[in-house]
A and B are shown apart, each in its own frame.
Chain A
Amino acid sequence: MPSPPQVTELLLAWGQGQSAALEKLIPLVHNELKRLAHHYMAGQRTGHTLQTTALVNEAYLRLVDCSRVRWQNRAHFFAVSAQLMRRILVDFARSRGYLKRGAGVRPLSLERAPDIFQRTDPDFVALDDALNALAAIDPRKCQVIELRFFGGLTAEETAEVLKISPDTVLRDWKLAKVWLHRELNRELPHDA
């Protein structure tokens, strides 16, 4: 696997419209995913949950090294990488059949998700569809979700990228989640 600077270059290239960069980026993201998955497996084995936040941050950091990006490019760069992550993750989930409806509530999830209405992990494919619908009526909320959920940014970083206040980010984030949760659970009665 290339070292992080290369990832950053690739991301920038992709953001500048060089679609060939994506070819090279996808396996890198996949590797990070697998790496994370391995940690989760190790955590399951030993019975203690790994420090999810730090672990995931690490993965994002590895992929997206913001310090390499010049300040004026940052917003663009983050937006690009979050989009990219969305695309790659959703494609990946789609190809593997992960998180088809119901899959997210399997007890394999480290967080408790016994109640279907309390599900904490979304179905990526359905989520992608719902996000597209959300973007049609409220593109900013879609971006907030993209940046935070797929891009791994904090509320503050998201605020910086979107040039809005962190409070607004949090309000958008909350409502967008409510909206998505409703969209993703519309068909639940039939499934159950």
Chain B
Amino acid sequence: MTPERWQRIEELYHLVLKQDASQRAVFVKQACNGDEEMEREIESLLAHEEPANKFMESPGMAVLARAMAGDRACSMIGRRISSYQILSLLGAGGMGEVYKARDVRLGRLVALKILRQGVATDPEHKCRFLQEAKAVSALNHPHVVTLHDVGSAEGIDFLVMEYVSGETLDKLIPNSGLVLRQALQYSIEIADAFVKAHAAGIIHRDLKPNNIMVTTDGAVKVLDFGVAKLTETLEPGETNVTVPTAITTGGMILGTASYMSPEQVEGKTVDARSDIFSFGAVLYEMVTGQRAFQGDSQLSILTAILRDDPKPVGQLVDQVPGELERIIARCLRKSPEQRFQTMADVKVTIAELKEGLDSGTLAAVLKRQGLRYWRPLLTVALLAALGAVVAIWFLRSGTTASEPSLTVVPLSTYPGFQMQPSFSPDGNQVAFVWNGEKQHNWDIYVKLIGTGGPPLRLTNHPAGGHSPAWSPDGRFIAFLRWISEGKCALLLIPALGGPEREITETSCVPFPKLTWSPDGSSLVISDRDSAKELFALYLVSIESGERRKLTSPSPPWVGDISPAFAPDGRTLAFSRRVDWGYRGDLYIVPFSKTLGPIVEPKRITFDNRGAIYPAWSADGRGIVFADSRGLWRIAAPGFMGKAAEPQQLPFGESGQDSTGSHPDISRRGQRLAYKHDLIHSSIWRIATPILEGAPRVHERNNPTAVHSAHFISSTRDDSQPQFSPDGKRIAFSSNRSGNLEIWLCDADGLNPIQLTFFQGAKVTTPRWSPDSSRIAFDSDAEGQFDVWVISANGGSPQRMTTDPANDGNPSWSRDGRWIYFDSARTGEQQVWKVSAERGEPTQVTRDRGWAPLESPDGKSLYYVKDIADTDLWRISIENGQPTKVLEGLSSYLNLAIGDKGIYFVPSKNASAGSTVQFLQFATSSIRTIVSLEQPLNLAEMGGLAVSPDGRWILYTQFDQAGSELMLVENFR
């Protein structure tokens, strides 16, 4: 065909295309005018018109690359190279693709990086490569992915690296940047890796977010240390750096050349300071979510690296500490001489910054700047790792976009437990309770919000103090102190420290809280005049200590606690309890000018979820309170008005291991503080020593010491273990299914199975029948707590008690005929018993009783008189005569009756609680049978159990227990 003929064909072809499809054949015939060859030519082109549309639409390079990709990936997976079985493709980068593989010799998983460029065959190159590899593989650090091996087989050269499961940092940085605290934590870990590597003379040369893994545990691991250099030895005659791989987002080209140092771009020799530059670029991106150096093309990025200073981070993100801005800028200086000179300096500087942040210094600085700082945390992994800083935009009705956002920052993050925050009137300081650096004493501390360093310790007394309440004039802090069993003192101490003054003595009440009358003349406390009465609210004069009863609860309630005065000084909010566990509601009561009673208290919550710790908003229009699910806010109803629906606050929510409680709201400054629990309890096991022998001490350095070990444990709370009488199984409570249920496991702690499925109701206190066939427990499935029984083989549980009062803490008589329990059905907590075959319960104790347990001979019953009582009593079943058995029990929960005596954790040093004691029936003597080096950190749900053969003691303890205070800014 000649070009001329082709030109005619082309002209005709385009004309034909303009015709309707139906007309085309006719048109072609006419146009070709008998030239059949031309006719065929045009027809055949027309036939390909449609299929050619999609043909060659991808550029040639892409087509070829795809073919290669398919070829390579298909061929590698399933192959065995040397002793590595290739399992799957993990990723592909500039230097080669990385596969997950199994080292069949060692049976471990590895990451196998296949090098694109084979190792040079000439001995000199090969030697250099191996030397370099040796140096890199010697680098062993928790934040460095270790190079295990280099190898060559079947013409494939590869690196064998530690296999890490996680996500690369580039995938974890949100567009708005990481939360600052997280960014700092990561950068400290990254810097730490570099300190080690640089000390070993290894320079990374290719640090970028996708060379940084964040493991599933939230730790950082830097990938490819020294690999750039390693592969460089492979490039024939080249000494230049790798232009890192590109990634694309939304069609935009983003060169990862962004992290190269200027000296790398210029092809100069690089040293550790080049890594510092790249580190700065990564830190910049972590903080801002944006690349430090951007451009439409590689060239413009490289130009930017050489020429431009990135926008200061403070211009991209609100509330970045100036110090951080300076650190980043100092890493990103063009001239290596002007940067930080060592990674160790970088690390220390950032660590200091973070410490300041953790201790709250920065929060105040940022607060003064009036800017927004904390942003929502986007990934679960980060959340788990962080657990401390979350920012939430809390939009309630009437909040306009221009109002400053609600932010949540840690207020105190000291070791141990910090709780019960109380603001100074100006909102700039907070008094709180902390069990101290050594966690040995509960004291009142004061902290100036926004300062670092340790808080001011106000009380310095072996009995410490709790429940601080700052006076309205700011001069004093009122607080409570345990002085003897069940007795507390109400004291005042100057807010700047000084001599204490006792106002009066009072009963210790569960969930203690004080509140000042706004005129500063009196305090409201919860107290009772005698142990027989219910807890009620009393107004106590600061001057005289005179008291006046304000409320008069009556059964079925067990008391009024947790008072909070409204800012108007005429209304009191408080919690009226149905029991001392989870149940109760919030009430308000108005007073006359002289604080005289006007009407009965009015209930404002109705779900019986234990609403407690009310805190009035500064304008008196709302009340924040806590329940077992978290923090809530309810509009304060006018007294005649209808109660509003509570709204859950977007912080302090109940989670797997965190619940917000103890809210306090500042009178000025729009601040709210609350306690954030970090708790996880497990069941531990310890071998009992021979009773006749001396107590053994559990010491880490003593190989003969009593060994205490995690026994039943999950990521959630496990507690209340009980051995079956046949010694074969253990029942326990656990919320590992998401709800608190009874579980069973073997005597060795293995094979846990869920026994109950109430799925929402609380199911606690499992107790075995003497024949090990049934388990009694209590549950609030029907609204109030009742006693239930279930077969140890499962099935439907049977409800044993139905009274609307709470019945709980069941236990069996030794003959299996009765189930003892405690009940408030008469208005007082008493021990009752019900036939194991059901029937009408009968009352056992007359002078109060709680948590009964029968003696081994079945002739008497052990119990305490109240949930908080520390005396153990025994009542004869025959004649109903009670006798005190022992004093100084830490809690009825930490008590187990064995065949020969009673095991208990004493209340002495209850905060340390480091012994288990044994009261021998035969001799009535008490001795310590186990003392632990570490203090027992007994869990709230608790539970002490002894195996039937007496060899093992199980106890429940908080493994990871603590509580921190959180500060909410711009709370309105």
Contacts and interface: CB of A to CB of B under 8 A. Distances in A.
Interface of A: 1-5, 31-42, 44-45, 50-62, 65, 67-68, 85-86, 89, 92-93, 96, 98-99, 103-104, 106, 108-111, 117-122, 124, 136-138, 145, 148-150, 152, 171, 174-175, 177-182, 185
Nearest to A39: B92
Contact of A124 (B60, B71, B74, B92): B60
B68 interface: yes
A124 B52 contact: no
B74 A108 contact: yes
Given A45-B88, A67-B299, A118 B61 contact: no
Given A51-B249, A150-B60, 18 more contacts: A1-B242, A2-B240, A4-B243, A33-B61, A37-B68, A50-B248, A54-B253, A55-B246, A86-B60, A92-B64, A98-B67, A104-B63, A118-B51, A122-B63, A138-B6, A149-B56, A149-B59, A179-B48
The listed residue with most B CB atoms (<10 A of its CB), out of A3, A45, A56, A124, is A3
17 contacts: A1-B243, A4-B302, A31-B116, A33-B65, A37-B66, A39-B69, A40-B66, A55-B62, A60-B61, A65-B299, A67-B297, A86-B60, A89-B60, A118-B54, A120-B57, A145-B56, A177-B56
Nearest to A93: B64
Given A3-B240, A117-B51, A171-B14, A149 B93 contact: no
Contacts of B246: 55, 58, 62
B70 interface: yes
B44, B48, B88, B255 — most chain A CB neighbours (10 Å)? B48
Contact of A181 (B51, B242, B243, B245): B51
A92 B250 CA distance: 31
Given A42-B91, A50-B248, A62 B70 contact: no
Contacts of A96: 68, 71
B100 to A, nearest CB: 10
B640 interface: no
B67 A104 contact: yes
Contacts of A35: 65, 94, 245
Contacts of B248: 50-51, 54-55, 58
B240 A108 contact: no
A65 to B, nearest CB: 5
A52 B248 CA distance: 9
B251 interface: yes
B297 A61 contact: yes
Contact of B66 (A31, A67, A110): A110
B59 A56 contact: yes
The 5 closest A-B pairs by CB, nearest first: A108-B70, A38-B92, A36-B65, A40-B69, A37-B68
Contact of A85 (B3, B60, B245, B302): B60
Interface in B36-64: 44-45, 47-49, 51-64
Nearest to A183: B48
Interface residues of B, number: 67
Contacts of B57: 120
A179 B10 CA distance: 10
Nearest to A150: B60
Contacts of A57: 253
Contacts of A61: 253, 297-298
B252 A54 contact: yes
Given A104-B67, A182-B48, A56 B238 contact: no
A54 B58 CA distance: 11
Contacts of A2: 238, 240
Contacts, number: 217
B317 interface: no
B86 to A, nearest CB: 13
B67 A108 contact: yes
Nearest to A182: B48
A69 to B, nearest CB: 12
| Residue in A38, A56, A68 whose Cβ sees the most chain B Cβ within 10 Å | A38
Contacts of B242: 1
B235 interface: yes
B92 to A, nearest CB: 3
B223 to A, nearest CB: 15
A145 B59 CA distance: 10
A137 B60 CA distance: 23
Contacts of A121: 56, 58, 63, 66-67
Interface in B651-685: none
A122 B64 CA distance: 10
Contacts of A174: 52
A4 B60 contact: no
Contacts of A33: 61, 64-65, 68
B156 to A, nearest CB: 14
B953 to A, nearest CB: 51
B475 interface: no
Contact of B55 (A3, A68, A103, A119): A119
B1 interface: yes
B482 interface: no
Contacts of A86: 60
B2 interface: yes
Contacts of B55: 119-120, 122, 177, 180-181
Contacts of B255: 58
A3 B6 contact: no
Nearest to A30: B116
B314 interface: no
Contact of B56 (A34, A67, A120): A120
B13 interface: yes
A131 to B, nearest CB: 11
A41 B59 contact: no
B56 to A, nearest CB: 5
A108 B88 contact: no
B384 interface: no
A44 B52 contact: no
Nearest to B69: A40
B73 interface: yes
A44 to B, nearest CB: 6
Interface in B286-317: 297-299, 302
Interface string B7-47: 10010011000000000000000000000000000001101
A98 to B, nearest CB: 5
Nearest to B266: A3
Contact of B71 (A42, A45, A108): A108
B91 A120 contact: no
A68 B68 CA distance: 30
Contacts of B116: 31, 34
Interface string B496-533: 00000000000000000000000000000000000000
Contacts of B70: 40, 44, 106, 108-109
